[in-house]
Structures are given as C-alpha cells and as structure tokens.
C-alpha cells in the first residue's frame, strides 16, 4: 500500500510541482551622444557609452550549458532610432557559414533581437541579421507560439567578418515599433544566436525549452527615457505593366492570342496614434504571387489553399479565429471565421454558351476596389483589428455574332472583420471576440443563389495557471446567413451538411427558409510545460453552422472528442539530440447520436547526434460512417483502415540534403489500398545559389468511390465504383541571390493524374454490418461499355441507365519566375514570368502515363509577363 501511495505522490509532484524561478536579466541602454554610422565595423566612439551584454546560455542542444562561442551586444537609442551592435565571436572565422537567401530565409549563421516594446509579455518584434547581411523580421504573438514572417518593417543593417568572428550593426526606426507614451520605459528584451555549423542556439536570457511560452520570460531593456511614439506614415504607389500570350481560338474574339494592360494602385501604412496603425490598399495587384499547387479532388468537400497575397498575410494572426486549436490535429484544423481568400475570389456565376457562335469573356477573379486594416494595442493589454474590403460588381462580356452584351457574374460586395482581445495578469488570461459580415448588393435575379448577408461571431478565452504549466481554453462561435429561398435551399443541400439525406432523422430540409443559423464550440484542457505534455478536448459544429462566405468550413453536423499526449526528451541522450513520442485518439458523432469515427495514432520524431532526422507513425481507424460521400444520399459505412508512414532527412547543415517520405494505407477486407512517396533533394553549390527538387508519387484504390446518382423507379440509385487514382508531380525550385536585396527565384511544377473506374456497383443497404450487403456489384451481363456504359440491371435487353465514361487524365504545368530587387528599403522592382499549361482528356489505350508527359508540354501555354515598380515614401 505504501508503494502505491508513493507512486501516486510522485505522479502528483510531476504534474503540479512548482517551477524553479528563472532569474530575469536586465540591460541598461543610454541615449546617443554622438553619431553612429551603420557600417558593421563598430568603430564609432558612441558605442563606448554602454557596456557589453554577454553571458549567453545554450537553448539547444544542451540547455543550460555554455555555448561553443561567445556572443556580446550593445544597445543605444536616440529620439528616432534604436541602435544595436552584436559581436558574434568565432575562434575559426574561416568556417563561418555565409549562406544567402531572400528576405526571411534564416540561412547560415545569424543573430537576432526580440523586443517586447509593449511589455505585455505576449507580443514582440523580431529582427534577424544573417552574416551575409540578409534581413529577416517577424511579428511575434501568442507568447511566442506565432511568428509572422510576413511583417516587413523598414530597418537598416550592415555586417562584417574579422579575425574575432563577425559583427552585425542594426538601426531600427522607433516608428516600426509600438509602445506607450510615457517618460521612462522598460521593454522586454531577448538576444539570440544561431551557430550554424554546430546547429546550436543560444540566448542572452535563458528560457528552458520546456517552458510554456517565450515572450513572458524575456529579460529587460532599461534606461529608455524621453522617447515618444512615432506616427508612422508610409505611402507606396505602384505601376504595373502586364502582357499575356495564350492559344488563339479561331472565331473567338476574346482569344486572339495576346493581351496587354497597364495598371496603377497604392498601398499606405499610417500611424494614426502611437497605438493604432492603418493599412490601406487601393486597386491592389498580386501578380508576383506564386500560383497554387495542382490538385485533383474526388471528395465531396472543398480544398483549402493558403493565402499568399501580401496585404492579407501581413499581420493575419491578428484577425485569425480558428474554431478549433487542437494539438491532436483533425479535419477541422482549417475551420476559421476569416479566410481572406474569399475576398477577390473567382466569380460565382458563369454565363452559359450553348451555341458555337456565342463566346464569353469570364473574369478570372473579382476585382478588389480597396481594402483597409486598422490594428492596435494599448498599454493596458487591449488589442484589436478591423478589416474592411470592397469588391466591385463584376461582369462577363458575351459576344454573339459580333453583338456584345454584359452579364453580372459577381455582385458588389462589402466584407467586414473585427477582432478584439484583452490580456490580464501579464498575459496569463486572455479573452476576446470576433465578428464578420458579408453584405452583397443582389440587384440581378440570376445571382439570388448567393447569400444576401452572412454574419459570424465568436468569443474565446485562454487561462493559464500553475505558473503557466496548465491551461484551459474555450471558443464559441455563431453564424447566420440570409437570402432567397433558393440561396438557403442551396445551403441546406450543400456538401457541408446535406440536410436532404433520407436517413437524416435529426435535421429536416425546409425549402421555404430564408435564413439559417448555427453554432460551434471548442473546449480544451492541457499541459504545455515540462517533458510530459498533453491536451484533451471536444469540438462541435451544429448542422446549420455556415461560414464559407468569409470564413472556411469543411463540414458541419458533428461532435468530436480528442486527446493528445506527448513525451519530450529535450536534452541529448544516447544517440539522440532530441526525441518526441506522441499518442492521439479521436471519437466523433453526428447530431443524431450516430458514432461516425474512431481512430488512434502514435508517432515519434527524432534527431540524432549526427544531425540526421527520423520520424515514423501509424494510424488506425475503426469503421467510419460518412454522411456526405453519397452527395445527399444515405449515410454509408466504410470498413476500418490502417496507415503507416516514415520520414528521414540527412544533416540539414550540409550543402547537399535529402529527405524521403513513404506511406502505405490498407483498408480492411481489401476495401482499398494506397501508397505514396515524396523526396526532397536540396543542393547549395554556392552560398548564393540553392536548387531543390521534390518529386512525389501516389497510387490508391477505393472500392466504394461515388460516381453518380440516377433517378430510379423506386427512388434515387447511387452508383459506386472501384477507382484507381495515380498521381505524379515534381516541384523544382531555384533561388539565386546576387546581393542580399537582389534575387532571382524560379518555381515550376508538372502535375499528372490518371483516374480510372471499374467494378461498378449500386448502393443497396449502405449501413449494413455486412460489407457485401451494402451494394450490388454489376456483372458483365448487366453493364457493358462501348463509347458509354450501358446498364441493363434486369438483363431483359432494355437499357435502364447510361453512364458517360468517368475515366480521365489531368495534366498541368505551373511555373513562376521572379526577379526581386529592393533597391532601397521598402521600395521594390519585380520582373515576373508566370506560365500555366492545363489539359485533360478521357482515358484510352493511347493516352496513358507513357504519353502524358509529352502531351503536357504539347498543351499551349498561357504566359504572363509583368513589370511591377513600387516606391515607398516615408515620413
């Protein structure tokens, strides 16, 4: 009995032991008395005004130990700037790794300063200098759990190498920071160094890696007196010249083989007060943005693509409201009240052209007339963000025998997003709220399938306790959409909910509704400190929850419970530099109480002392019930499945690095199989040139893939088939830096997919416990193929249904080449070439993979050439 009591006591102490206090360092700065020339040499007398800060400590691999090389720093200031000097000592300066990259590349040796100028212990501004003079910068939020590299402030940097190591000298304008208006300041401060050849990280203020955050344990910068917040004013107009070439289509007046255009616009950043910043874009153009990777989607659900447009990604963490934040992962991870790609999306309506003499010029995207963001945070820990965007009423031009007309394809639309958060107790408690609105001016009857208004709202709470070792978090969300009966009917019948399912006993389809309301919530409890970490929680989306007008939602009508636990070995031992082992489990039900999903997962991630990495994992899913796969038909039950994956990578410090991933999937009872692999080969022959090649392959079969729905004599017939889905792709990327501010980047990706169907079957009893009773497989006498499939179910010589051959090939090649020159800080010249080759065809004996690669490059390309010039005026 005593032994068991001792075990319980030890477990209790492990979970609730009080953390050891970490001594907080401070550095005293001074006001500049004589000029400093930013040249990376540190030969100005002004630097003698202050002492060196030193005594850095390893963060990894050997936390708490002395670093292999010493680091020291000095900080000065004046009314307009903060000046930072960092001396990175190196006893073998000839071995310093001088790799170059584009901005925010973080390559080679670097040093970094993190500044919590709000001193809220949750947010910071990070400025990183590589030894080659490449700048990287990030806005740090959520106590170090979010590092936004899309933040691009204007600051100045010079570096040099000497016989003691290397030097970085910074000038950071105070206008790029945010701080309160008071006579004397104390800011949070951290200085970091990456010693590349040993892959060692060290910091001035030691923060153990097992701590539940970063910013809240910063050291302090003292001695800042008499500085005033700077009102930032930056105006950046642009002019863009664009030319396109594409395949000429005989008789089509809109496809004559070429087009050209000149466009102008303006971006601005205005410091309204010391706490509030306004970002504005008028007539924006994002032609320099890389294209989305190619995809083939056979599911019932929409795909998620990340945002890449600069205006929307800079500071996007402020307006982020993910409904579920789960360490266990899951299909709901992208659900968000705000998905900025809805703004400027493809037009929703496409005019028909049923006659050969009618041609349509359809816009590829909706034009954004203007957008504005207002963000701020005050000294009391209250932060907020507001975004307002307007897209114009978009028209397609229709030509019929030379007679032109216009038809609206997207209405004039206003988008609004508002977010607010309040920090309490030094960030230990944070609560907030979110509101979004989409309002459309639906003056055209044929656009009444769209929602006239769509609103969503959310509240969130995060509370850390026991010295931030544990936390509890809650998020609750609400949605309301309004529109015509057609619009709300479409919403009820959409793939996110499928109210019309014949076995949907908990939610009825109502064709007379003109609004729909739903809710969702997530509750988590977890431990994020120490070697043992975990999270357990639950999340739900009610059937009527809908946010896809301005947010992102994969599916509604579910309640999911999940648990994740991991054990971290943070210090080197045996052959490992680090090791993490994780366990996960999930259970899910629909709102009718039907259990739809149960799964378990285990995985580990390791790095060896030779700097190679190895990860491996396996997932086991029990029987799954899908309410969506029959596209409005009854639920269908799938057998369980198992997958296994492995990933390995060589030493990433080397100039030649290879990583490889292999996965396998097996469905129970031969229901399906899958396998795939991808490799990433990266070669850096010089410090300025990096080449990477990433080929990938996947092949899978699924015996119960949905094909189509027929209207039968006694109701709808749902047709399934075995699908063989094979995909090849390869991503090729080249980066060359002429200087830290002048770079050339190329990306290209060929993508080829072949999809073949066989073994057609009709759904009979999709929820049967017996797999074979869930469908009837057509025999060779019941289904025949010539140019189309003909189904004679009763074998009476009369054709009951016909089916077009669903087999297809899809080919696509996308590439993007960008010459980027930041000729002065904040002002950039872009020269861009983008190419797209897209083709598809039905499958036949002469059109398999042996021909597809050649066929892909026979497709006529669409080329876009553009020259974009920006100039930033700063006050």
| pLDDT bucket at 563, cuts 50 / 70 / 90 | very high
Q: What is the pLDDT of residues 33-55, one digit of tens each?
A: 998 999 999 999 999 999 999 99
pLDDT at residue 667 tops 70: yes
Q: Kindly state the average pLDDT of the residues 397-420.
A: 94
How far is 144 from 809, CA to CA, in rounded Å? 45
Per-residue confidence (pLDDT) for residue 233, from 0 to 100: 87
Average pLDDT, the chain: 92
Per-residue confidence (pLDDT) for residue 308, from 0 to 100: 83
Q: What are phi and psi of 460, to 5 degrees?
A: -140, 150
Give how far the C-alpha of residue 163 lies from the chain's centroid of Cα atoms, to the nearest Å: 43
Segments in 646-742 forming alpha helices (H)? none
How far is 520 from 551, CA to CA, in rounded Å? 14
Sheet holding 783-785, edge to edge: 783-785, 788-791, 801-804
Report whether 74 contacts 63 (CB < 8 A).
no
Q: What is the pLDDT of residues 830-852, one digit of tens each?
A: 999 999 999 876 555 444 555 66
Give how far the C-alpha of residue 503 lies from the chain's centroid of Cα atoms, to the nearest Å: 36
Give the CA distances from residue 399 to residues 211, 350, 352, 427, in Å, rounded to whole numbers and listed in that order. 65, 14, 12, 61
On the question of a cis peptide bond just before residue 386, with omega within 30 degrees of 0, the verdict is: no
pTM for the model stands at 0.90
Q: What are phi and psi of 489, to 5 degrees?
A: -65, -45
Q: What is the pLDDT of residues 692-741, one digit of tens each?
A: 999 999 999 999 999 999 998 788 999 999 999 999 999 999 999 999 99
Per-residue confidence (pLDDT) for residue 303, from 0 to 100: 85
Per-residue confidence (pLDDT) for residue 852, from 0 to 100: 63
Per-residue confidence (pLDDT) for residue 812, from 0 to 100: 92
What's the angle, vertex CA 823, arms to CA 820 and CA 828, rounded to 5?
50
How far is 632 from 501, CA to CA, in rounded Å? 5
pLDDT at residue 421 tops 90: yes
One-letter-per-residue 3-state SS of 119-139: CCCCCEEEEEEECCCCEEEEE
Report whether 583 contacts 567 (CB < 8 A).
no
Per-residue confidence (pLDDT) for residue 168, from 0 to 100: 98
Q: What is the pLDDT of residues 197-245, one digit of tens each?
A: 999 999 999 999 999 999 999 999 999 999 998 888 899 999 999 999 9
Report whether 804 contacts 214 (CB < 8 A).
no
pLDDT at residue 16 tops 90: no
pLDDT at residue 125 tops 70: yes
String of DSSP letters for 38-93: -SSS---GGGGGSPPB---EEEESSTTSPPSS-EEEEEEE-SSEEEEEEEEE-S-G
Q: Kindly state the average pLDDT of the residues 751-761.
A: 94
Percentage of the chain beyond pLDDT 70 is 94
Q: Kindly state the average pLDDT of the residues 643-647.
A: 98
């Amino acid at each position: 009995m005593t032994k068991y009591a001792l075990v319980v006591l030890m477990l209790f102490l492990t979970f609730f032991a009080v953390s050891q206090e970490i001594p907080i360092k401070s550095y005293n700065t001074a006001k500049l008395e004589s000029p400093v020339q930013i040249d990376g040499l540190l030969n100005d007398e002004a630097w003698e005004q202050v002492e060196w800060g030193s005594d850095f400590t390893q963060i990894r691999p050997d936390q708490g130990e002395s670093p292999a090389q010493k680091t020291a720093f000095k900080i000065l200031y004046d009314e307009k700037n903060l000046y930072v000097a960092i001396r990175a000592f190196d006893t073998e300066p000839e071995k310093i790794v001088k790799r170059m990259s584009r901005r925010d590349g973080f390559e080679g040796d670097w040093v970094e300063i993190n500044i919590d100028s709000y001193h809220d212990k949750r947010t910071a501004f990070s400025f990183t200098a590589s030894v080659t003079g490449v700048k990287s910068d990030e806005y740090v939020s959520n106590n170090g759990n979010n590092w936004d590299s899309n933040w691009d402030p204007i600051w100045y940097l010079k570096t040099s190498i000497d016989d003691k190591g290397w030097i970085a000298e910074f000038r950071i304008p105070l206008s790029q920071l945010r701080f309160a208006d008071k006579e004397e300041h104390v800011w949070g401060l951290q200085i970091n160094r990456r010693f590349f050849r040993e892959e060692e990280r060290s910091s001035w203020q030691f923060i153990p890696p097992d701590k539940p955050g970063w910013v809240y344990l910063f050291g302090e910068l003292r001695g800042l007196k008499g500085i005033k917040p700077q009102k930032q004013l930056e105006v950046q107009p642009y002019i863009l010249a664009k030319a396109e070439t594409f395949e000429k289509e005989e008789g089509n007046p809109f496809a004559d083989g070429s087009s050209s255009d000149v466009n102008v616009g303006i971006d601005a950043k205005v410091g309204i007060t010391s706490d509030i910043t306004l970002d504005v874009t008028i007539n924006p153009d994002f032609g320099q943005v890389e294209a989305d990777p190619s995809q083939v989607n056979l599911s019932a659900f929409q795909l998620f693509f990340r945002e890449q447009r600069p205006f929307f990604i800079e500071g996007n963490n402020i307006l982020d409201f993910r409904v579920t934040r789960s360490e266990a992962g899951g299909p709901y991870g992208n659900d968000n009240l705000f998905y900025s790609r809805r703004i400027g999306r493809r037009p929703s309506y496409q005019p028909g052209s049923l006659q050969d003499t009618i041609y349509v010029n359809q816009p590829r995207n909706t034009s954004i007339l203007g957008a504005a963001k207002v963000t701020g945070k005050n000294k009391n820990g209250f932060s907020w963000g507001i975004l307002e965007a307007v897209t114009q009423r978009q028209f397609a031009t229709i030509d019929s025998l030379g007679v032109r007309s216009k038809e609206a394809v997207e209405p004039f639309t206003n988008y609004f997003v508002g977010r607010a958060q309040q920090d309490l107790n030094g960030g230990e408690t944070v609560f907030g709220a979110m509101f979004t609105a989409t309002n459309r001016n639906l003056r055209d009857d044929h656009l009444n399938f769209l929602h006239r208004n769509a609103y969503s709202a959310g509240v969130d709470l995060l509370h850390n306790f026991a010295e931030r070792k544990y936390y509890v978090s809650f998020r609750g969300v609400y949605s309301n959409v309004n529109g015509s009966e057609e619009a709300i009917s479409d919403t009820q019948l959409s793939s996110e909910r499928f109210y019309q399912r014949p076995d949907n006993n908990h939610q009825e389809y109502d064709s007379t509704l003109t609004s729909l309301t739903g809710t969702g919530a997530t509750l988590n409890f977890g431990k994020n400190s120490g070697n043992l970490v975990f999270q357990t929680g639950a999340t739900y989306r009610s059937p009527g929850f809908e946010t896809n007008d301005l947010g992102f939602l994969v599916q509604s009508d579910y309640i999911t419970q999940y648990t994740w636990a991991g054990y971290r070995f943070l210090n080197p031992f045996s052959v490992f530099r680090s090791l993490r082992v994780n366990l996960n489990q999930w259970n899910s039900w629909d709102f009718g109480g039907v259990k739809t999903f149960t799964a378990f997962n285990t995985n580990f991630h390791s790095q060896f002392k030779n700097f190679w990495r190895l990860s491996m994992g396996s997932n086991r899913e029990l029987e799954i019930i899908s309410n969506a796969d029959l596209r409005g038909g009854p639920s269908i039950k799938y057998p369980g499945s198992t997958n296994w994956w492995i990933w390995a990578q060589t030493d990433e410090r080397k100039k030649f690095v290879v990583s490889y991933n292999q996965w396998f999937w097996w469905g129970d009872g031969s229901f399906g199989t899958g396998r795939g692999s991808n490799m990433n080969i990266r070669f850096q022959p010089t410090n300025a040139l990096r080449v990477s090649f990433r080929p990938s392959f996947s092949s899978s079969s699924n015996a119960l893939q949905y094909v189509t729905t027929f209207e039968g004599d006694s109701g709808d017939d749902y047709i399934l088939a075995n699908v063989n889905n094979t995909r090849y792709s390869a991503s090729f990327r080249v980066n060359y830096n002429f200087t830290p501010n002048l770079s050339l980047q190329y990306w290209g990706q060929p993508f080829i997919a072949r999809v073949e169907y066989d073994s057609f079957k009709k759904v009979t009893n999709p929820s049967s416990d017996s797999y074979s009773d869930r469908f009837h497989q057509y025999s060779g006498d019941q289904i025949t193929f010539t140019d189309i499939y003909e189904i004679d179910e009763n074998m009476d010589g009369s054709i009951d249904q016909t089916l077009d051959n669903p087999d297809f090939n899809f080919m696509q090649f996308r590439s993007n080449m960008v010459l980027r020159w930041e000729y002065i800080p904040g002002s950039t010249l872009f020269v861009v070439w983008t190419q797209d080759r897209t083709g598809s065809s039905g499958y036949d004996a002469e059109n398999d993979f042996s021909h597809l690669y050649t066929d892909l490059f026979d497709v006529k390309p669409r080329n876009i050439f553009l020259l974009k010039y920006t100039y930033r005026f700063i006050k």
